[in-house]
């Protein structure tokens, strides 16, 4: 069975990335001390736009998760 995670993202951020077409993207969320454990490396991370669009617009292989200070995010 394939494991995946659907992350909600902002339309303006998606539009910006669509124009830049980067090899990698940094997806972050405010989490305090929580560590993201939903995926292991190489599992599928999908990006879905907020309502009202509610569509999956992209994805890729998850690499890693890090807890860093907000000033570095």
Reduced to 3 states (helix: H, G, I; strand: E, B; else coil), residue 72 is: helix
Render each residue's pLDDT in the chain as its tens digit; 73 residues: 889 999 999 899 899 988 999 988 887 777 667 788 899 999 999 999 999 999 999 999 999 988 877 777 6
Distance CA 42, CA 35 (A): 17
Distance CA 41, CA 54 (A): 26
Predicted pLDDT of residue 28:
75
Predicted pLDDT of residue 32:
66
């Amino acid at each position: 069975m394939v494991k995946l995670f659907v992350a909600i993202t902002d339309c303006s951020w998606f539009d910006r990335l669509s124009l830049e077409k980067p090899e990698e993207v940094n997806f972050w969320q405010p989490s305090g001390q929580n560590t993201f454990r939903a995926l292991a490396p190489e599992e599928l991370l999908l990006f879905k736009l907020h309502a009202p669009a509610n569509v999956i617009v992209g994805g890729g292989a998850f690499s890693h998760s890090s807890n860093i200070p907000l000033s570095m995010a």
